[in-house]
Structure 1
């Protein structure tokens, strides 16, 4: 049975946990995950709070004579920010995190 994770049978988990590269990998992943999660929560809940407590602001037209309100581009911005933050995480995971994981695998002899 083949294992495709850094925690393979050939490397004990305590040895891996002591590896500085593994510690850096887990620290960077956690920091990025928490940072992006907090950012998206602020964006999403900020928009919901505007809907709840400032509907008149969101109902204003974008420009004089327009029927589109400020809420429409702001809602689109919320959606696009979620997509952008996801793309940022994927780019980082496929670059830096995969690089560190591959280095750990090489060191473990896989």
Structure 2
């Protein structure tokens, strides 16, 4: 990663080029293919819990052992499922999206998306009047 003192500010054109790149399209696709189904599944699971609590109180009050009933177990299951989803997302991000975003960040830092850098393998020269960030 480029040290902060040596970074040149990116132009709007560079951001647009990065956003229009096939890598960014793939990054969005991979994120959405995980996030949307997982969000729908969790919301359905939460809605089931709320509906059972509202319309099936006798079922939710069914004792499982001691003073623990089905409602308490399903409520605790909400917490467990949150931790499981978080773990799955971190694993997914580490394996499927972070490599692409790391590569894109490197390319942005080297200004590979700059209009003058298109079609080249290197970045632009920072010594030619580029603004730097302190």
TM-score, scaled relative to structure 2: 0.65
User: How far did 1:67 drift?
Assistant: 3.4
* Alignment correspondent of 1:16: 18
Paired with 1:47 and 1:24, the residues of 2 have a C-alpha distance of 35
Higher helix share: 1
| Correspondence 1:40 to 2:51 | no
* Alignment correspondent of 1:103: 103
Secondary structure of the structure 1 residue equivalent to 2:69:
coil
Paired with 1:25 and 1:98, the residues of 2 have a C-alpha distance of 9
User: How far did 1:35 drift?
Assistant: 1.7
Aligned length: 103
* Alignment correspondent of 2:92: 92
Greater radius of gyration (CA) = 2
User: How far did 1:57 drift?
Assistant: 0.5
Greater RCO between the two (CA within 8 Å, min separation 6)?
2
Matches within 5 A, 1:20-99: 20-62=22-64, 66-99=66-99
* Alignment correspondent of 2:132: none
Aligned-CA RMSD value:
2.3
Contact 2:30-2:96 within 8 A present in 1 as well: no
Show structure 2 runs of 5+ residues with no match.
112-134
TM-score, scaled relative to structure 1: 0.77
Show structure 1 runs of 5+ residues with no match.
3-7
